[in-house]
Amino acid sequence: MSFRIGLVLLVFCLFVGPAHAQSDTETQIAPDDSTKTMTWFDRLGVQPEYRSSFRVNRTSTNWDESLQLNEQFGSIAFATDWNVGFQQNPTQNDRRQQTGKGRVSLEHVSDTFGGWSFGTAGELNQRSSRTDFSSQTSNDSEIGLVLSSGGLGEALRRNRDWAVDTFTWDVTGTAGITSEYTASERRSREEGNPLDRADSTDASGFLREISTELFYAPRESWTVTVDAKANRVREDFKTDLAFPDSSAVLEGTNENENETFNVTASWKPSRDTSFEFRHNRVHDVSQEFSTTELAQDTRTGTERSVSLSLKGEPFWGVEHLISASNRFLDTEYVLADRGAGSDGYSLGGTHSVKLGRLWGPVQKTALEFEWRWGEKALSYDTGNSYDSETVKARFRVERPFGKRLVVTGQSETNLEQTFYEGGENDRDVLDQRLESNFKYDLREGVETKLNVFWKKKRSLNIREAKALANFDETNVTVTASYGWDLRPGMKLGQDYIVTAVSSELPFDDSKSDLARTSQLQTTFAGRIGERVDLRLEHKFQFKDSGRYELEEDRTRRFAKETEGTQQWLETEASYRVLRRFVVFINQRYEIRIKENSNTGKISRRPRTELKWGWNLLHDFNEEFGITTKFDRVNATDELSYWKGSASLTKAF
Amino acid sequence: MAPSASKWALGFGGLALVFVFGCGVFDTREPEDPGNLDTIDLSTPTDPDTVLTNVRRSLEALLATAYASQINEEFVFVPDPIDEAEFPVVWGKDQEEQAHISILTDVDSVTLTWGDAGEPNVDGDQQWYDNLPYSLAFSRGQDDAVFSGIVDLYLLELANSTFQIIRWEDLSDGTGAPTWGRLRIDRSAF
């Protein structure tokens, strides 16, 4: 139903306002002002922009609508921004969600005294989500007076004789009133869905905020920006609690505050060299009703981060990118047992070079080396705090041999070590990878590739009680493929992939297993005339898995447990109605057969799928564009469904 | 580039590699031998059913790290609306693993029961169980607790043809019992 409503609205939108049809060869036609009719908005002298989007995936639908308007009437600036969204999924306990946001501001703007403005701004947010057994609602609004001034920047510029693009300093102050309502409710599946628990909070109060933005560029190569903001909100609240056999009321005052400070500095001494420094600090205190503690709780959060990066090519043609950072986070609750903190450092670099003629036989070889080191301490009120260390090294080499062959090799090693309080959960994870890739152009229009990939992951719990879960997993994958351009618009390709995954338990050699997969995939794509495209794809996969069993002489024997094949055949025909409007039909048949070697049980799962739809990307003119992509899927193993999205942008 | 400079570059590059791989920065610690303790019986997850079995065996063995090995790096948890307000904006694999380390600490036993949701649906490289019921029973001393709900559980088939959980959409089953999502948030810290 929602899908039909969506389509009707989109079709309606297609016919509102003047529009030009898309030509067969052009996607955009310049608007012809002589034929444009005067709209109500033109008469009012305003140009709002409307956006609409719709998504559907089986039973889940999602609508999003927004309207934006920024206008200047002489010295009066008016801005408004509205957004509403709806989500629904009847199969998930009838899950429904609505969101709404709105913002309006009206300001008097002046260029004098470095530029200033004074006006009022209001904001409204609404969110509601519910299922058959639960609901959650939150509404909040605020309205206030806003005063902004660039006067401090102007005064300093005059005093120091700086240009406008060298220094600016804007300060904004806001004062206003706020109101907030939140409610949540949980119900039981028993007859009549009796109430399990509910709470609702009403709060209203006063806010004040001051923010400042400073920009300073003393030289062309130097830039510094500083942003800072502080706000306070004081609200009186009343919370009603309801349980099946009791109720309670809480009343009090919330004191919320937030302070933010950001600094960014960059220096670019030469074309190839640049430094960047960033510092960020946030401190906030917020009070709200805690559904876990069933009381008003206070949360205090602190975040600090510092980072430094350097990019340069100082000598020998070697490019360096080096970065270092520190990040500190801390969250504390007065009542809840949910406080946490982290403090981490990281250092890393990437160094690359392409060898020149002087290197003789190895010239044109590109080398890249990447390294990372990190240390982090995490603490939790609930226990299980830990420190972790990570280290990574990656080395990549690429070398062309003549014009047809390019060989690439890469190795990568990652180690993460965690050290828990008491050591009970201490763990090391070592990940090693090797990869080589050969790309060879057999002749014009025929490309071949060979990829060999090896990966070993060791997951080691250190303490004996957990070490029984230790495992080593080894992956080997070999992929050989070719693509052949048979003639313009017609291509044939095949991929052959062999994969083996084995898992071993270091402390129990009687439990190790192996899974093997072989896959052959063939793709043919061709074009008939100018408008019809055909695609044929076939995939065959053989997969078996089993365990290694220990014989009496301690030798291992592979005992197969499952064996199966999967096969897909897919055909697709598409017709290009216009250059960016394509309709298609797709038929897919697949069958999965799996046999359990121990029980002899064979399961067959055939599936047929018919899919049709369209893909439209169309700009009627500069002000009106629409994008839709929809599939209708009829499959033998589930109900028919729509999948796709549509969006529309219209500037009036 | 001058030849002498090239030699210096080669020398420094070689030294860096020797330092990285030769100084033991990738050496792991030696784990303690679990002796006669029973090892956990996990299988290579070549199909979605095996992932469910591995999750059950991991939790019942009280091994959060084994559970985390069934979770994809891009994992996303979507809580029930009633639990949503207290969840952080992002709940990925790190949060999932840390929450389960906390959940499985100081617990005597855990019993996980998956309900019957039939064969998983197929969509490209993902398969998912629609409205899969679950029940998770804990025992700690004299205390017992049951968490139950339903989940739309999405599994991603990786390039090596194994499966991992990539998305968990949690919902109350309306029995009044708290969900597994509620358990995650109650036993977690951020």
Is the predicted pLDDT of residue A396 greater than 50, yes or no? yes
Cβ–Cβ contact B4 with A under 8 A? no
Average pLDDT estimate for A223-229: 96
Q: Which residue has the tokens 């250059």?
A: A579
Strands (E), A244-362: 246-270, 273-290, 295-312, 319-333, 340-354
Confidence of residue B54 (pLDDT cuts 50, 70, 90): very high
Dist CA B172 CA B174 (whole Å): 5
Cβ–Cβ contact B22 with A under 8 A? no
SS3 content of chain B, % helix, strand, coil (to 5): 30, 30, 40
For chain A, the residue count is 652
Q: Which of A92, A358, A515 sits opposite B162 (nearest CB)?
A: A515
- Select the residue from A58, A196, A474, A518 to test the B interface by mutation, using most B Cβ atoms within 10 A: A196
For A468, which residue in chain B has the nearest alpha carbon? B39
Which residue did the predictor score with more confidence, A539 or A339?
A539
Average pLDDT estimate for A346-353: 95
Dist CA A391 CA A369 (whole Å): 14
Measured in angstroms, the CA of A415 and the nearest CA of chain B are apart by 6
Instruction: Tell me whether residues A188 and B176 touch, CB distance under 8 A.
Output: yes
Instruction: Tell me whether residues A292 and B63 touch, CB distance under 8 A.
Output: no
Q: What is the pLDDT of residues A242-259, one digit of tens each?
A: 888 889 998 999 999 999
Interface of B with A in 141-170 (CB under 8 A): 150, 152, 159-162, 169
Q: What is the pLDDT of residues A505-526, one digit of tens each?
A: 888 877 788 999 999 999 999 9
Dist CA B172 CA B84 (whole Å): 12
Provide the percentage of residues in chain A whose pLDDT is more than 90: 61
What domains sit in chain B, N to C, each tagged with a CATH number? 48-186 (3.10.450.50)
- Select the residue from A88, A394, A507 to test the B interface by mutation, using most B Cβ atoms within 10 A: A507
pLDDT, mean over chain A: 88
H helix intervals, A477-636: none
Measured in angstroms, the CA of B175 and the nearest CA of chain A are apart by 5
Confidence of residue B134 (pLDDT cuts 50, 70, 90): very high
Cβ–Cβ contact B139 with A under 8 A? no
Instruction: Tell me whether residues A477 and B41 touch, CB distance under 8 A.
Output: no
Confidence of residue B180 (pLDDT cuts 50, 70, 90): very high
Is the predicted pLDDT of residue A19 greater than 50, yes or no? no
Instruction: Tell me whether residues B65 and A515 touch, CB distance under 8 A.
Output: no
The single-letter DSSP state of residue B102 is H
Confidence of residue A188 (pLDDT cuts 50, 70, 90): confident
pLDDT value of residue B1: 43
pLDDT value of residue A26: 41
- Residues with Cβ within 8 Å of A202's Cβ and at least 6 positions away in sequence, in order, are A180, A181, A237, A238, A239
Phi, psi of B52 (to 5 degrees): -60, -40
pLDDT value of residue B144: 85
Q: Is A29 exposed, middle or buried (0-12, 13-18, 19+ CB in 10 A)?
A: middle
Q: Is B67 exposed, middle or buried (0-12, 13-18, 19+ CB in 10 A)?
A: buried
> Which residues from A are below 8 Å from B3, CB to CB?
358
Instruction: Tell me whether residues A417 and B29 touch, CB distance under 8 A.
Output: yes
- Select the residue from A186, A369, A379, A549 to test the B interface by mutation, using most B Cβ atoms within 10 A: A186
Cβ–Cβ contact B49 with A under 8 A? no
Measured in angstroms, the CA of B136 and the nearest CA of chain A are apart by 18
Phi, psi of A73 (to 5 degrees): -110, 95
pTM confidence score: 0.83
ipTM of the complex: 0.84
Q: Which residue has the tokens 């968490």?
A: B147
Phi, psi of B178 (to 5 degrees): -65, 155
Q: Which of B31, B81, B174 sits opposite A460 (nearest CB)?
A: B31
Interface of B with A in 71-100 (CB under 8 A): 80-82, 84-86, 98
Is the predicted pLDDT of residue A21 greater than 50, yes or no? no
Dist CA A104 CA A126 (whole Å): 15
Dist CA A535 CA A571 (whole Å): 6
Which residue did the predictor score with more confidence, A109 or B34?
A109
Instruction: Tell me whether residues A338 and B174 touch, CB distance under 8 A.
Output: no
Dist CA B134 CA B56 (whole Å): 11
Is the predicted pLDDT of residue B4 greater than 60, yes or no? no
Average pLDDT estimate for A449-478: 92
- Residues with Cβ within 8 Å of A363's Cβ and at least 6 positions away in sequence, in order, are A355, A356, A357
Instruction: Tell me whether residues B40 and A469 touch, CB distance under 8 A.
Output: yes
Average pLDDT estimate for A413-438: 94
Dist CA A183 CA B66 (whole Å): 38
pLDDT value of residue A37: 65
Q: Which of A393, A468, A475 sits opposite B37 (nearest CB)?
A: A468
Phi, psi of A540 (to 5 degrees): -125, 130
- Select the residue from B82, B130, B147, B173 to test the A interface by mutation, using most A Cβ atoms within 10 A: B82
Average pLDDT estimate for A175-184: 94
Measured in angstroms, the CA of A518 and the nearest CA of chain B are apart by 10
Average pLDDT estimate for A316-325: 91
Average pLDDT estimate for B39-63: 89
Instruction: Tell me whether residues B174 and A189 touch, CB distance under 8 A.
Output: yes
Dist CA B143 CA B148 (whole Å): 17
- Residues with Cβ within 8 Å of B7's Cβ and at least 6 positions away in sequence, in order, are none
pLDDT value of residue A586: 95
- Select the residue from A190, A397, A427 to test the B interface by mutation, using most B Cβ atoms within 10 A: A427
Range scoring the smallest mean pLDDT among A36-40, A281-285, B38-42: A36-40
Measured in angstroms, the CA of A464 and the nearest CA of chain B are apart by 4
pLDDT value of residue A507: 83
pLDDT value of residue A10: 47
- Residues with Cβ within 8 Å of B141's Cβ and at least 6 positions away in sequence, in order, are B108
